[in-house]
Structure 1
Amino acid sequence: MREHRPVLLGGRTDAEQRALADLVDRAREAAGDVPAALELAEVVGGQLPTPGDGRTGQLWSALASVAAADLTVARTLEPHLDALAILEQAGLTVEPGTWGVFAAEGPGEPLRAEPSDTTYVLSGRKHWCSLSSVLDRALISARVGDERQLFAVDLTAPGVSAVSGTWVARGLAAVDSGPVDFTDVPASAVGAPGWYLERPGFAWGGIGVAAVWFGGAVGIARRMLAASESRPPDQVALMHLGAVDAQVHAARCVLEQASYAVDAGVLSGSAGWRAALRVREVVALAAEDVLRRAAHGLGPGPLATEEEHARRVSDLELYLRQWHAERDQVALGQDVVTGDGARW
């Protein structure tokens, strides 16, 4: 069926398209099921490329394709793949199991790392720890003095305690992203202080998240198309569908261009950060417009009676809040004033 096809960024070979179609089938089978999604992540983690290896478009096509099928599966897969890419960039061996990345900052005293013999121990609370109670390991940022550093942590170790009862979200309801408390938990350094944010892959990972938003928007756009094909012509619905087509096209274009630039080696340093801000802006605004127009064009019916559509809308609305919105616009505006990237 057309709504179950892969989402392609750039020209993909026949073999790549077959692999993506198989991934979509497996993502649909795991829809809404976190344990099944984790099993899928562990299987495909070693099969999919990493950003910058010459096949970035295939990686982001995979993320978008899974997201168009189910955002719970995509939200489980994306950080696992990001963790594998970070460990590869750091030149470290990947321990088997499922991985997460807990690097967002939250309120209050930050999580701290203290040297202990040949390693570190983590103590304190870390916010925004997605699936912490079901993952095997995670890459976690913590403060070492005044600097941020990344650490690999076994989440099954004593002293790791997920804070229950804090995740009340209606979107991504199965992907509990509440805080975790750490008490003298052993941790291994991944890179030097500051390396996590300074490496080129930080910007590339941010664009990868935008590929997931894009796929979620495609899933909603496909529902709009199905509605227009199954009922008599409706000029208002067609107007919204046409506007959505243009938005999806724009989002696809910036993601494709970014994938080529990553593989060409030109998106490092300030250029990578600038590209991430631009791409995330274009894709997030497109996705928000798709959500708005789907609500206007489809009306309340699908939201009230279709589990898959209602869940996809709620999931995408929450997922998009990973975009920092006006704060990222300020950062990009500052770069326009002080940087050298505004060719226009």
Structure 2
Amino acid sequence: MPADPGAPDEVAAAARGFADAVARIEAGELAFPLPGSGRTAERFAALRTVAEAGLSTARLVEGHVDAAAILAELGAPPPGPGERWGVWAAEPPGEGLTAVRQGAGWVLNGLKQYCSGAHSCTHALVTARAGESRRLFAVRVAADGCRPVEGTWGAVGMAGSDTPDVRFTDVPATAVGEPEAYVDRPGFWHGGIGVAACWYGGAVAVARVLREAAEHRADPHTDAHLGAVDVQLHAAWTLLERAAREIDEDPRDDRGEGRLRAMRTRAFVESVCRQVLDHVGRATGAGPLCHDTGHARTVADLGVYIRQHHAERDLAGLGAHLARPEAGR
């Protein structure tokens, strides 16, 4: 599905960045090694770098490389040349998607919310209910019956990620993996840490104005804020690198530590992002937010992006997991 010519500038810019990144991946100029390949730290570093340049573009690129990892893990063909994939797997309350068999294949009907890259992806992996189970399906976004619902993405932060609802009407689909395979596979948790690497890149980008302020004026309060931000970012990246090593040591999650690792890492990186936003805002005041468009956009984008972590709900999930007698520590 081509980019909507009437889309806001931020959507068009993110779509161009997305297409450029995918072209660089295909040319071998930009690498995202698969999780558990022995080079997971390189994957996280690449996601961080893309996010430092632009969070909306990073959201689209992360979806594409996550789709490639999912397809590889579930034994499906990889993205083809020129294809740009998304992963549309959010399942908030509401109508959702249903899948029914039709001949040798499947068709999808219903409404899918939070479909990043709805106007720029060529293909997507989507979750849908198939009877009593949930399955993953591959679809062509340009297929008849697959239509973004205009006006359903009114965000200011992450506006460029182009994440509206999409209406599916008898859309042909190919099942990927067995029922529940999408959430049961080890890579589900590995991928969640990749998202945190993007959050981290956004926090680094937000912190730039604080570092520049400290370099240009001698002020102990500014220095104190910069020191606090540096400690938090250093700790977050150290944790991400440790997570990458552990994933490479146990890519199939035979030790059963993947879920706990992902929940801890995501929660910590999200908390660091919030602290960075707070320190930078308190140290630099309204000036950068009012006069530096790029910084203001990054601040707004990061505030929305980290809400993929569900705050106390996810912390409660972590606590409940730890409270189980068999849980790892």
Fold shared, TM-score > 0.5 on shorter chain: yes
Cα separation, 1, equivalents of 2:140 and 2:112: 15
Name 1:7's counterpart in structure 2: none
Name 1:211's counterpart in structure 2: 197
User: What is the CA-CA distance between 1:267 and the residue it aligns to?
Assistant: 6.8
1:62 aligns with 2:46: yes
Name 1:110's counterpart in structure 2: 96
Cα separation, 2, equivalents of 1:166 and 1:301: 32
> Structure 1: which amino acid aligns with 2:188?
F
1:168 aligns with 2:191: no
Name 1:74's counterpart in structure 2: 58
User: What is the CA-CA distance between 1:79 and the residue it aligns to?
Assistant: 0.4
Name 1:4's counterpart in structure 2: none
1:221 aligns with 2:207: yes
Q: Secondary structure at the match of 2:310?
A: coil
Among 168, 174, 184, the residue aligned to 1:182: 168
> Structure 2: which amino acid aligns with 1:78?
E
Q: Secondary structure at the match of 1:143?
A: strand
Any residues of structure 2 matched to 1:66-145 within 5 Å, and which?
Answer: 66-96=50-80, 97-145=83-131
Q: What is the alpha-carbon root mean square deviation over aligned residues?
A: 1.7
1:265 aligns with 2:245: no
Question: TM-score of the superposition, structure 2-length normalised?
Answer: 0.91
Question: Residues 43, 211 of structure 1: CA spacing in aligned structure 2 closer, same or farther, 3 A cutoff?
Answer: same
Q: Which runs of 5+ in 2 are unaligned?
A: 1-9
Q: Which runs of 5+ in 1 are unaligned?
A: 1-29
Among 206, 221, 228, the residue aligned to 1:236: 221
1:326 aligns with 2:312: yes
Name 2:20's counterpart in structure 1: 40
Name 2:3's counterpart in structure 1: none
Greater RCO, CA 8 A, separation 6+: 2
| CA displacement, residues 107-136 of structure 1 (integer Å, 9 cap, x when unaligned) | 322210001111100000011111112210
- Moved >6 Å (runs of 4+): none
Cα separation, 1, equivalents of 2:12 and 2:206: 16
Conserved? CA contact 1:261–1:267, under 8 Å: no
Q: Secondary structure at the match of 1:33?
A: helix
Question: Residues 32, 220 of structure 1: CA spacing in aligned structure 2 closer, same or farther, 3 A cutoff?
Answer: farther
Could you tell which deviates more after superposition, 32-41 or 240-249? 32-41
Size of the aligned set, in residue pairs, is 313
Conserved? CA contact 1:41–1:80, under 8 Å: no
Among 245, 255, 263, the residue aligned to 2:240: 255
Question: TM-score of the superposition, structure 1-length normalised?
Answer: 0.87
